[in-house]
Amino acid sequence: MDKKQAFLVLTLLSTFILLGQEENVMSSGVSELPTFGINYGMVANDLPTPADVVTLLQTIRVSKTRLYDADSSVLRTFTNTGISFIVGVRNEELHLLGNASNAFRWVKENVYAHLPDIHISAIVVGNEIFSTNDTALMRQVLPAMQNIHLALSLFNIDHDIIVSTAHSFSIITTSYPPSSGQFDPAIATVYMKPMLNFLSKIGAPFFINVYPFFPYKENPTLIPLEYALFQPNAGIQDAVTNLHYTNMFDAQLDAVYFAMAALGYHNITLLVSETGWPSAGDENEIGATIQNAKIYHENLIKHISSWHGTPYRPGSNIEVYLFALFNEDMKPGPLSERNYGLFKPDGTMVYEFKFFDQPNASASFVSLGLSTMLLSFILSVAYIMHFT
């Protein structure tokens, strides 16, 4: 083998080594990590400035957040920060968006005006409307979604921005066992089926708010706390499917999957638009403690990061938005409603919580760095052989 042939062989060898290491990095999850975000609610009178929130999110390495409106002053603060947003259409705005011109104007002013300096990934058209008794408001949701999507298509950004609406889990009236999951009959055929048809056509996920705290609080003698908190427990067996469930979060998600399947829709994905556990509550809100909130969030992160999916949809990667960034002192209702925050308004943590650790990612980059050193050595040898 002459020097030119040796140079070629060594160069090809080094290329294969580097490509192999890059593939290992890809498979380890560095470029395809589970997706977590956090809800940035603002029903409070003592919150930090949006600029301080930028710093906070960057500190905890959260790159996705959800607003319940499309506040331009907040969005402008996040210009070129790399933080992606889900923005919302407020429930009281829906009646306007039944008009296509109004929807076009809304998208132009609240979405298109911020692009490309701010990444907007989705528009949530209304929040938890189908768990109310307001049928007039329910009728406005799908037309508003359709008009928003039409407006996005006119701006040629409909493939970049998802359109959906967020649902309370209470729209699932039967959820045990999960295979029996079905929507409230009052809304299933009239509202859910047409909406699922629309989501299926545009390839958008079904947004669902999932809180294992609620069923545990209502039935603490029947539901083990460990089952709600992703802790070791005997779990439940679905007698129809023989699927085994070790946590309520998976059981609730699968109940939604089965409810959609019962209406003929088997391939729509889920996005968890809210999930969390309160750190304090009223006397009758059993389980609302700092310790349980910490356990729930830590175990949720571990569970989603494991890529196990759910028993009915194993291996699926699901996008999850924690609720919420801050305790919000102006929210009505029981004490728990004002204590879902991971942070106090002054920016201190409600409890110690490690956000989204990615040890495999750092290990993979170390491995990639070593391979790069090896590559440099091989190329140096090849250079010497070729030119001496």
Strands 244-245 and 236-237: antiparallel
Q: How far apart are CA 266 and CA 15, in angstroms?
A: 43
- Which tokens sit at 192? 């859910």
Locus of tokens 């992703």: 230
- Rg (Cα) of the chain, in Å, rounded? 24
- Which tokens sit at 84? 């992606």
> Are 294 and 351 in contact, with CB atoms under 8 Å apart?
yes
Helix, strand, or coil (residue 133): coil
Q: How far apart are CA 14 and CA 9, in angstroms?
A: 9
The one-letter amino acid at 374: L
Catalytic residue among 128, 285, 319, 328: 128
Sign of CA dihedral 98, 100, 105, 107: positive
Under 8 Å CB-to-CB from 352, ≥6 apart: which residues? 294
| 32 catalytically annotated | no
Catalytic residue among 22, 92, 109, 274: 274
Distances (CA, A) of 304 to 17, 45, 111, 250: 32, 33, 30, 10
Sign of CA dihedral 77, 70, 271, 119: negative
Identify the bridge partners of residue 383 per DSSP, sorted by sequence position: none
- Which tokens sit at 161? 């921005």
Under 8 Å CB-to-CB from 350, ≥6 apart: which residues? 279, 290, 293, 327, 339, 341, 342, 343, 344
- Which tokens sit at 54? 């930028």
Q: How far apart are CA 162 and CA 178, in angstroms?
A: 27
Strands 36-39 and 270-275: unpaired
| 128 catalytically annotated | yes
Under 8 Å CB-to-CB from 378, ≥6 apart: which residues? 10, 13, 14, 17
**Residue positions annotated with a catalytic role:** 128, 274
